[in-house]
Chains A and B, each alone.
Chain A
Amino acid sequence: MGKHHQVFRNYRQEQRLTQRRLIVAALLVLLMMGILISRLFYLQVMQYDLYQTKANENRVMLVTEPPPRGLIYDRNGIVLADNRAIHSLTVIPERAGSIEELRKKLDPVIDIKEEEWENFRAKLKEYRRPYQSITLKSQLSDVEWAKVSVDLYQLDGVQVEAQLTRYYPFGEAFAHAVGYVGRITAKDLERVDKLAYQGALFIGKTGIEEYYEQALFGKPGLSKVEVNARGRIMSEIERQNPTPGEDVQLYLDARLQQYAFDLLGNYKGSVIAIDPNTGGILAMVSKPGFDPNLFVRGISVKNYARLRNDKRLPLFNRALRGGYPPASTIKPFMALAGLEYGFSSWQESYYARGYYQINPNGRRYRDWKRSGHGWINLERSIIESVDTYYYQLAHKMGITPIHTFLSKFGFGKELILDLHGASRGLLPSNEWKKARYKEPWYPGDSVNVGIGQGFMVATPMQIAAATSALAARGHMYNPRMAMSVGGHSPFLEDEASITEHTIKLKDERNWQRMVNAMKKVITDSLGTGRRLQGTEYSIAGKTGTGQVFSLQEDQEYDAESLDKRLHDHALFIGFAPADAPKIAVFAIFENGGSSSKPADLTKALFDAYLYDDYPDRYDYFEEWRR
């Protein structure tokens, strides 16, 4: 058949067949061209905005430049938190090659610890912008800096960068007041603007550094840069310079703080000094402390474990969180409550035996003086710190008026305005006991509260603030650290309702009478604070010895420290000059035994503060005045 056709092939027809097919093909070509053009139309006209945006997102990147952090000063302009220029060895991994090569090149030049290499490796794994440098070794010594600088030209991708780091010149004594900055964690980034902290080295973690973080941090510089696909910056499109952080000036007196810290000696404890005229905190000590500089560039696991496991709890802020029985220091306030609600008067006499009983055959609540004080009145109950007087007074009052009255002085409240993490302590009430123990309030409970024991727990800050209110004759300030932030008061005038209030008494004369009683605690021959006699100014004070419950966290204590636990906490409140107070102090020596220690400390602080009379060794603070 094929051969038959071959003979009579119609070439013309075959040509036409192929030509028809070529026309079909040409039409298909046009159709497919049409498809391509409609695709381009879709992408370039209909989706133009979308892809335009995408292209810009690709190429434009925001880079932040961290601002210099604001400094923290004490009331006299002494720097408590400084910025210090350090030189760090940083590496741009994209240019430096592998870690092994880098080590080979760096080893002869500079000593880099295994730990630092580990950190470097860890940071290498975290997300970062390409060509962003990573710190390999921070705080080069001058010798190291010089050595590296010489060899820098042959170390690709290695550079020495000047950075500002935080430095706390006075360390431990200020750790709990000023706080510290530390490495920024993922958790920190959840509560701040991530973009702003890009490139920042640290963030406020505790204390003033934490509370005023926003002001101290400032506003980072922002540049819009054009980057290529590898993230390398090609050019700068727009730039906004960083605004430095604002300085914070505290009410704190650096020397007073250091002095109080030193005077605590080897005791654990806390000292707080407040200016009754402003509520400003002049000193806030929690001992033991720790070196805040350890935290700045990230604390090592070893150092942190050491602080965490220390039985003396150096990381625990006793001033704000320590829960202590206020003990006899509560008596002036308890007495004012009795006067206010008509349960006692200045004239009424009371026979003080060595103990107090609710029922004739009931439990004996003992006085610190076994023989009793004999016939006394309200004033003498303060001077001699008569326990039985307050047993009977609290018993008569019951807990509700006590609760109402003591709340006015800030007991049971956080109080402090500009530090986080203050404890509320415990000002017990009927409702509280029902909720907590499913039991009613018993009269015996009141008796214990009458001398600041039992269920009552207060923080040093609460007792100090109440003392300050007493010194100011009822003008109660919520204590605060910062005097000014960026040159302005951190609290506006119309916020006065938050920062202060006046405690009204039915008889306002009771303020002065109570102060007089507290003056006699010092001046009276039987006064519990008579050892403070002999000052040119007058002191009002009240001693206290707290039966030991130790800290609320007392499970931390073990048998080994039981001996010391048997010692009572020693407390003292006082203010001076008694009739125009400039300073109110609360001091507690944990397991300090007798209240003579805090009393002596308080007097030393008064002398120093009122006469600007500090031991010579504190002169070095002057070097940090700006």
Chain B
Amino acid sequence: MNVSLYRRLIAFTNARLWQLAHVDILLLLALLLLMSGGLFVLYSASGQDIATVERQMLRLGVGMATCLALAQLPPKYMRRASPLLFVILVALLIAVLVAGVGAKGAQRWLALPGGLRFQPSEIMKIVMPMMVAWYFAHRPLPPSLKEIVTVLVIIAVPSLMVAKQPDLGTALLVGVSGIFALFLAGLGWRYILGAAAAAPVAVYSLWHVMRDYQKQRVLTFLDPESDPLGSGWNIIQSKTAIGSGGVYGKGWLEGTQAQLNFLPESHTDFIIAVLAEEFGMLGCVLLMCAYLLVIARGLYIAAYAEDNYARLLAGSITLTFFVYMFVNIGMVSGILPVVGVPLPLVSYGGTSIITIMATFGILMSIQTHKRAL
């Protein structure tokens, strides 16, 4: 009976229909699970504002549409377009630095006609692994030192430009997505260990290019109690929310930290604290399991992708998604500095939902356009 159920499940997921529609049903289900859980928490985090939840559903819908649309595009076209896209985006990043608009001392957007705004760095998160994967597509793996240096330059230029805006969180994700592709391409362990050894030097030089408010975030991270009402407030309140949730939580809509506004940014970057307060450790672990499902499927798709380009791209996309989640939860729970990374697909708003869903469209495309299963 169990065996037959399993077979029917396999049969369902491999159904010809999904293949024709270029939908990876397992990934889709995992994503839907994550999204619905997220909406549930958002309702509480937004102060029980159904309008916020509706707007988020709209965004998720647009994201899903983007995903399914991109899934129709065969990976070979993506591969061919990769270098051109990269060049265009680098040009746009330059434009942002020269003529960008923004708020709070950061220039992140390009103003479009009709009052619209466009954030090139967000698209760069997708294009970066595409570019690195493209670079390795026609070269034998593992890469030579010359190739490694070339790729590092490819990664460094846009990352530094984004960091300059300044947008440390996005710069980190852009850089990391390129590095992951490089790692999956077989970057020699001796280089990895060497880089690990050189990290302290890098940290030191990074400190010197950081803006004051970025330095403040790091300092606050290291000692939140030093400024409990100023920059330490966020992290103290989020830790309090998480810790007071205990194992089972205070119950949905019952979190005092979240409902009485002690928790800042409770429906955006700090939404995991709401979950932790109201559903406890149990809720958090369940949510992380949902993420793990998505990540596991992504890694599976990467491992069995058709060619190097697809493998590196799929792997990098999946691991970057994980980094998103890790950095966000790490930051909210106080083991990483506050860098302004949303919890993917759960935090309210932002272009990030669309771009993340676009990357899952790429994953689906890679999985469903294989010539032979």
Contact = CB atoms under 8 A, between A and B. Distances in A.
B269 to A, nearest CB: 16
B239 interface: yes
Interface in A13-66: 14-15, 17-19, 21-22, 25-26, 29, 32-33, 35-37, 39-41, 43-45, 47-48, 50-52, 54-56, 58-59
Nearest to B256: A59
B141 interface: yes
B281 A228 contact: no
Contacts, number: 142
Interface string B268-301: 0000000010001100110010001001100100
Given A15-B311, A226-B260, A228-B262, 7 more contacts: A2-B144, A21-B186, A22-B299, A39-B334, A44-B245, A52-B246, A59-B260
A234 interface: yes
Nearest to B292: A33
Contact of A18 (B144, B244, B312): B312
Interface string B300-313: 00110001100110
Contacts of A59: 256-257, 260, 262
Contacts of A5: 140
Contact of A40 (B138, B139, B144, B284): B284
Contact of B246 (A6, A44, A227, A230): A44
User: Does more than half of chain B's interface fall in helix, strand or loop, or is it mixed?
Assistant: helix
A230 B229 CA distance: 12
B32 interface: no
A435 interface: no
A234 B259 CA distance: 11
A230 B280 CA distance: 25
A74 to B, nearest CB: 52
A291 B246 CA distance: 61
Given A2-B140, A14-B141, A18-B141, A25 B257 contact: no
A22 B334 CA distance: 28
B257 A228 contact: no
9 contacts: A22-B184, A36-B333, A39-B330, A48-B246, A52-B243, A54-B243, A55-B257, A228-B260, A228-B261
Contact of A58 (B139, B260, B295): B260
Interface in B298-332: 299, 302-303, 307-308, 311-312, 315, 319, 322, 326, 329-330
Nearest to B311: A18
Contacts of B141: 14, 17-18
Going nearest first, the 7 A-B pairs with the smallest beta carbon separation are A51-B243, A55-B244, A229-B261, A228-B260, A43-B243, A5-B140, A51-B244
Contacts of A51: 239-244
A413 to B, nearest CB: 54
Contacts of A228: 260-262
Nearest to B144: A2
A44 B241 contact: no
A9 interface: yes
Contacts of A2: 139-140, 144
B260 A229 contact: yes
